[in-house]
Amino acid sequence: MMGGNQGHNHNFITSFPLEILQKDFDGYKNSSPIAYERKGNTEIGNDVWIGVEAFIMPGIKIADGAVVGARSVITKNIGPYEIWGGNPAKLIRKRFSDDVIEQLMKIQWWNWDIDKIIDNIDVLASGNIEKLREIKAQ
Ligand SMILES: CC(C)(COP(=O)(O)OP(=O)(O)OC[C@H]1O[C@@H](n2cnc3c(N)ncnc32)[C@H](O)[C@@H]1OP(=O)(O)O)[C@@H](O)C(=O)NCCC(=O)NCCS
């Protein structure tokens, strides 16, 4: 759900966004409070896998390497390499140990030159973190 809007402000007496009627009503002044709650940008990190029909609420930040389960409703920010699922989505588990996640976040392979990525597809499409570290060190 894009646009940065959480939706109609349901803390008001009416949840209907009356300001949209201003142009239709004589005497209705442009002074009504904004009835849409702003949640800011939705941000999706690098190498994030979003399962089919997942729903991501406005303003949510999903960090690098995360996985969103099919048909999940994401209402909270997701950390790096975390797998979330359900409605409302909960943390299922992390993809790797905290130590490995820390290394992956330092390596940031997605910022490599495309030639380097192509040369190392076999390593990226494996669980060989040690080999990945060796490549980074080269
Ligand atoms: C989230 C996902 C990646 C987890 O896969 P996994 O690591 O193999 O996890 P498991 O199947 O072992 O399930 C682990 C737990 O998460 C739960 N779970 C898995 N997927 C879930 C989902 N989409 N929503 C809610 N819960 C989910 C399981 O019920 C299980 O719960 P339990 O530990 O209480 O028994 C996978 O289930 C998924 O949704 N993949 C997306 C598929 C898809 O959309 N493919 C098409 C696009 S490529």
pLDDT in tens, 81-117: 999 999 999 999 999 999 999 999 999 999 999 999 9
Per residue in 26-61, pLDDT (tens digit) is 666 655 666 677 788 899 999 999 999 999 999 999
Sign of CA dihedral 125, 128, 129, 134: negative
To the question of pTM greater than 0.85 for the whole model, the response is: yes
Architecture of 41-95 per CATH? 3 Solenoid (2.160)
- Ligand 1 test: best mutation among 92, 93, 94, most atoms within 8 Å of CB? 92
Q: Cα 15–20–22 angle (5° rounding)?
A: 120
Ligand 1 midpoint to CA 56 (Å): 16
Q: Is the pLDDT of residue 3 over 90?
A: no
Cβ(85) – ligand 1 distance below 6 Å:
yes
CB of 68 shorter than 6 A to ligand 1: no
- pLDDT at position 36 is 72
Domain ranges within the chain, ordered by starting residue: 1-40, 41-95, 99-137
